[in-house]
Amino acid sequence: MNFETNRLLIKLLSKRFSNWGFTIEGIKDNRKGEWWLFAQVLVLLAHIIPPWPVITTWPIILRVISIIVFIYGLYRSYLAIITLGDNLSPLPEPKESAILVKNSVYSSCRHPLYQSLIYISLSLFSFTGSLLHFLLLIILTIVLINKAKVEEKRLRLKYKEYNIYISTTPAIFNGVIFLDWRN
């Protein structure tokens, strides 16, 4: 890539990040929940570490199910991203121009992107049988729960109808302790 192409790419990325609400100040003081996003990305990237220790060799049927769950997680994340459209932000702070989305995958779950990441992490653990990946699944779930709760505080302030949405729609997984908090 030449210098002009690099400048254009940096300009486009800079615009995208500023559209999402990233600022240097926010990165320093976590004003829009930037640190939760960094923790999430760090744990997700750790999933590329090779399996260790492998606690068991899973039956082939469990590996096949793991692949199906992985694909389903990717599909759910695709639907969530498409449904959000311009409202999408990786930060727990809603964009100023955002509207509250409650249709499609958001009608059955308030955080389908987080749900899909948990599906993907679970499938990687199930496929490998790695104790490390089981630990990453637990850490990712904790990070996503906390990020979702920060996000929901901000959504309550922005949208009056969010309290009704919370009372009728599961957070991440319906009926699962710690993953379905409602009023």
CB 116, CB 77: distance < 8 Å? yes
More confident of the two residues 113 and 19: 113
Residue 12 reports pLDDT greater than 70: no
- pLDDT-derived band at 11 (thresholds 50, 70, 90) equals low
Cross-strand bridge partners of residue 54? 130
**Residue holding tokens 């790695």?**
130
User: Mean pLDDT over all residues of the chain?
Assistant: 90
Give the C-alpha separation, 50 to 127, whole Å: 12
Q: Indicate the fold that domain 33-168 takes in CATH.
A: Four Helix Bundle (Hemerythrin (Met), subunit A) (1.20.120)
CA angle 170, 176, 180 (to 5 degrees): 30
Q: pLDDT band at residue 16, thresholds of 50, 70 and 90?
A: low
CA 104, CA 131: separation in Å to the nearest integer? Answer: 35
Q: Is the pLDDT of residue 106 over 90?
A: yes
Residue 130's DSSP bridge partners are 54
Position 56 scores a pLDDT of: 72
Tell me the percentage of the chain whose pLDDT exceeds 70. Answer: 90
- pLDDT tens digit string along 37-56? 999 999 999 999 999 998 77
Q: What is the pLDDT of residues 45-100, one digit of tens each?
A: 999 999 999 877 778 999 999 999 999 999 999 999 999 999 999 999 999 999 99
At 24, the pLDDT band (50, 70, 90 cuts) reads confident
The domain ranges of the chain are: 33-168
Neighbouring C-beta atoms of residue 180, cutoff 10 Å: 15
Question: Hunting for tokens 């492998």 — which residue is that?
Answer: 54
Give pLDDT tens digits for 146-167.
Answer: 999 999 999 999 999 999 999 9
State residue 65's pLDDT score: 96
